Chains A and B, each alone.
Chain A
Amino acid sequence: MFDYLFAPFIEFAFMQRALIGCLAISLSAAPVGVFLMLRRMSLTGDAMAHAILPGAAVGFLIAGLSIEAMTIGGIIAGCTVAFLSGAVSRLTDVGEDTSMAAFYLISLAAGVLIISVNGSQVDLLHVLFGSALALTDAALYLLAVICSITLLVLASLFRPLVVECMDSQFLQSVSRLSPVAHFSFLVLVVLNLVGGFNALGTLMSVGMMILPSAAARYWVKSLDMLLLLSCLIALTGCYAGLLVSFHVGWPTSPSIILILGGTYVMSLVAGINGSVVKKLSKPKHLSA
């Protein structure tokens, strides 16, 4: 049992690196995901994951498989889409969901075009699905930096972010932090997606944000417990996913995301808050 659960991480350096990288991204992506869910922006994560593709592709074309170049490219592309869609929705009458969908589609099409004209299938697979078992020093540092920045920004902007989600009119009436909270949060989403794509790939890294918080919602109600539980689910999912990947020989990022997905399905069926079982069971009520 000990061998099965711990030996891979003791014996193999690449497993240790994968674990550290995935733990870092769990700690930062899961809380960001909680706020995405509470703002009813869960699909925004998916849109932004597509939006960073051309930046990563251009980075790859300029500098090859360089973490730095692809990261910087991804951040630039993601932030450009976030700022453009935010600015357009504030300057015109069209909502942010529409402008974001429009800009991410343009960005995605540009990314696919750049990759298919200049790159190969293998490069595309790396960007889409990552390579958690081959994390370099540079990638690990990057994940650590992104995790630290995310936790610092979330801690310092916590109150404005909560009020922006719940009652942005009130925030606008007492301070000018409403756009600061909104755009800082979108930048965090981009940073975590870009950080995540080295380990998990652009598409799978969205799962690290959304699935833990979606699962946690069926178990706890308060915001602090949601943040705590979604981090725990993400950490456990990474650990279990890496083990399964090691022992069964499955690719890492789908293993991690499928385990998180399994946790979500189990929670929605059997959780204690508004789950399927709760809805189907005969309701009891208090006497007064």
Chain B
Amino acid sequence: MILTFDNVTLGYELHPAVHHLSLQIERGSLVALVGPNGAGKSTLLKGIIGQLTPLEGDIALHHTARSEVAYLPQQNQVDRSFPITVQEMVSLGTWNRIGAFGRLKSQHKRKVASALNKLGLQGFEKRLIGSLSGGQMQRVLFARLLMQEAELILLDEPFTGIDSRTTHDLIQLIHHWNAAGKTIISVLHDLEQIKSHFPTSLLLSRQAIAFGVTEEVLTPENMLKARELNEAFDDHADYCGEH
């Protein structure tokens, strides 16, 4: 077990984005986080990394430091016009080892070169990130994740707007991480992709609809229920626990 949610409610102001979630994520599992837009998927990831404090309940990491959690937000969060090179961007993955002030040593530089190789980014080292295509940029962000050597990897829609070749390569990398014992939780929308590559799924619609083996979770009944619950957002709802 690497992560437990104990009656967790996460939200903004009074509105719960994720309601009373209780479940456990086993170490080494490969979990797809599924649900309609606004179901609370990104909110849940923000809760795990501590960017958002639960309104209620507790999120606990087991035998894993916060620094061993890596997080890939949706791509539009990065300012691509900033003048930083691919090599510098990937080097930031060493943050947990060299911190904000340490020097990049030769062993780190070798690891950066190897990460760039693994992601097919040889020759791009000195390019500014602003000159990359969407797929190349995603490869750069995955190379940075690789450098972080995290135990728990959280991915928020990693394949949105990415071509099939790059998606294929990145999925192979995810399998490679998983085979090495890492736990991966990824927000995804492509159901076929999830069924082919992610053995475990959590279907979320502001609360857990189903969690477990992917084939049993992503049934038509469950998907319909998720859609209906997601539309039930009510500005005039009673306070939770007072009715």
Tell me which residues across on chain A come within 8 A of B92, comparing CB atoms: 163, 170
B83 touches A172 (CB 8 A): no
A160 touches B79 (CB 8 A): no
Q: Tell me if A's interface is mostly helix, strand, loop or mixed.
A: helix
Tell me which residues across on chain A come within 8 A of B82, comparing CB atoms: 38, 162, 165-166
Tell me which residues across on chain B come within 8 A of A175, comparing CB atoms: 95, 99-100
Tell me which residues across on chain A come within 8 A of B70, comparing CB atoms: 173
A174 touches B83 (CB 8 A): no
Tell me which residues across on chain A come within 8 A of B85, comparing CB atoms: 222
Q: How far is the CB of A123 from chain B (nearest CB, A)?
A: 42
For the complex, give the distance between the alpha carbons of A160 and B92 in Å: 10
Knowing A166-B78, A221-B128, the reply to whether A226 touches B83 (Cβ < 8 A) is: yes
For the complex, give the distance between the alpha carbons of A93 and B71 in Å: 24
Tell me which residues across on chain A come within 8 A of B148, comparing CB atoms: 174
Residues of B70-103 at the interface with A, using a CB-CB cut-off of 8 Å, are 70-71, 73, 77-79, 82-85, 92, 95-96, 99-101
For the complex, give the distance between the alpha carbons of A226 and B69 in Å: 34
- Chain B CB within 10 Å, residue with most, of A156, A170, A223: A170
A223 touches B83 (CB 8 A): yes
Give how many B residues have a beta carbon under 8 Å from the other chain's beta carbons: 24
The answer, yes or no, to whether A169 is at the interface (CB within 8 Å) is yes
Tell me which residues across on chain A come within 8 A of B96, comparing CB atoms: 174
The answer, yes or no, to whether B107 is at the interface (CB within 8 Å) is no
Residues of A76-123 at the interface with B, using a CB-CB cut-off of 8 Å, are 93
Q: Which residues of A contact B (CB under 8 A)?
A: 38, 93, 156-157, 159-160, 162-163, 165-167, 169-170, 172-175, 177, 221-223, 226
Q: Which residues of B contact A (CB under 8 A)?
A: 13, 49, 51, 67, 69-71, 73, 77-79, 82-85, 92, 95-96, 99-101, 128, 144, 148
Closest 10 CB pairs between A and B? A166-B82, A173-B71, A174-B95, A169-B73, A167-B78, A223-B83, A169-B77, A160-B100, A166-B79, A173-B49
25 contacts between A and B (CB under 8 A): A38-B82, A93-B13, A156-B101, A159-B100, A159-B101, A162-B82, A163-B92, A165-B79, A166-B82, A166-B84, A167-B79, A169-B77, A170-B71, A170-B73, A170-B78, A170-B92, A173-B49, A174-B95, A175-B95, A175-B100, A177-B100, A221-B128, A222-B83, A223-B83, A226-B83
